[in-house]
Amino acid sequence: MSEDDRLNLTPEWRRHPKSWGHSFHPMCSYMAMFPARIPHYFIQKFTRRGDVALDPFCGRGTTPLQACAEGRVGIGVDLNPLAWLLTAAKVDAPDKDDLLFRVEDLQTDMFYGDIENEPPEIRMLFHDYTLSQLSYLKGALDRNDPRDRFLLATLTGILHGATAKDGRSSHFLSISMPNTFSMSPNYIRTYVEEHELRKVKTDVFDTLRWKIERLYRHGRPEIRGYAHLAGAQHLGDIPNRHLKRKEVKLVVSSPPYLKVVRYGLYNWIRLWLLGEDPERLDQTLDQHPKLDDYLLFMHRVCQQLYRVMLPGGVCALVIGDVKTPRDTIALNLAEAVWKFLKRRKTRFELAGIIEDELAENTKVTKIWGADKRGRATLVDRVLVLAKGPVEVVREHVTW
């Protein structure tokens, strides 16, 4: 029996709906996020309570949150400040009552600030009343405080989205627009004029309370985890005792691939709230458009991962196929990464590559037009690597 057969790696996660998972997951949508059912599959199969699970490209924090919710120690690393904020808020969440008291205090202390200084592309999105509340919160929230961090992260999720059909009730703060990503200011300007969109006076504090109630449906995760704003290729420099002691039992991650998503540009509204520069962010993030550079990057990251893992640890990397405009068939990038690692004499062993066909309408990159650039594909693969012989645990925990 091969290792592949013994581990029985199959996309068993499909028996859960895509929205399955802890109620904190939908705090804010994140481009190229994976569903919580994928980390859950690996967490229950290969770890026990108290084990450490890492995602070095954590995005909205899907792996670390799901790990903490299932009694494991979740660690998330990402170079994007939005990703850090979302992950930190979820894995170190405040008590709900404390959070609601903080909302009340902030509302009591609220002063209607001067919104004239906000950029015109932001002013066209929000009613003046809503924007003055947002501007006040932007200045008042301290992201070193877990309660404020949670509020700021929650705000990023409700900042923009579609208005309900009746035009009145909305749980988003902006004019009607997509929630997943920010369209360009020029596009929005024309769209608003053509469709005569109205800015709706929405109360930020009431909307925050509504969202907090929904997020806390499953309570707080039982274990506190960690979030680090850092590069995946520099794990050795991160001040985290579990990483220093090389205690990672499981990695579940989806690395960026071949510059498919521009996290800065497509999040310019959320980044305004965080006081971050979208262009600078896109320059900081490692997205290698050339295959050779990408493979070298992945090799460096995998070396770092091997170093921080326990013997018997498993590393699952979700890597979709990609198609460049010149190609007729898509490149199996997961296999290309594995072949490159092998040529470079990686000490990881291949446990298997799981294929996961995606339904056409579920691919985020399709919605925002990556298809036009010929890069969206309908197959994700999970490259599963092992650090020596692996034990299948199957310790299922629900919260």
- Chain residues that interact with ligand SAM, rule: CB under 6 A: 30, 32-34, 56-60, 62, 77-80, 83, 231-233, 254, 256, 263, 285-286
Q: Among residues 147 and 323, whose Cβ is nearest to ligand SAM?
A: 323
Q: How far is the CB of 337 from ligand SAM (least distance, A)?
A: 14
Q: For residues 64 and 94, which CB has a smaller minimum distance to ligand SAM in the complex?
A: 64
Q: Taking the complex as a whole, how short is the minimal distance between the CB of residue 7 and ligand SAM, in angstroms?
A: 22
- Residue among 24, 31, 372 nearest 178 (CA): 31
Given the complex with ligand SAM, which of 106 and 341 has the nearer CB atom?
A: 341
CB of 345 to ligand SAM, least distance (A): 23
Contact 394, 333 (CB under 8 A): no
Smallest separation (angstroms) from ligand SAM to the CB of 327: 21
User: DSSP class of residue 200?
Assistant: P
Query: Whose Cβ is closer to ligand SAM: residue 62's or residue 377's?
Result: 62
Is 18 or 195 the residue whose CB approaches ligand SAM more closely? 18
> How far is Cα of residue 5 from the mean position of the Cα atoms in its chain?
31
Identify the sign of the CA torsion 221, 224, 229, 232: negative
CB of 331 to ligand SAM, least distance (A): 17
What is the β-pairing status of strands 309-320 and 248-253? parallel
Q: Which is nearer to ligand SAM, 58 or 93 (CB)?
A: 58
Taking the C-alpha atoms of residue 387 and residue 178, their distance in angstroms, rounded to an integer, is 42
Two structure tokens written together for 314: 């498993």
State the minimum distance, in angstroms, from the CB of residue 361 to ligand SAM.
19
Compute the 3-state secondary structure of the chain and give helix, strand, coil in percent, each to the nearest 5: 45, 15, 40
Question: Of 46 and 263, which has the nearer Cβ to ligand SAM?
Answer: 263
Burial of 343 (0-12, 13-18, 19+ CB in 10 A): exposed
The Cα 361–Cα 41 span in angstroms is: 23
Minimum distance between the CB of residue 363 and ligand SAM, rounded to whole angstroms?
13
DSSP codes of every residue in 43-108: HHHH--TT-EEEETT-TTTHHHHHHHHTTSEEEEEES-HHHHHHHHHHHTPPPHHHHHHHHHHHHH
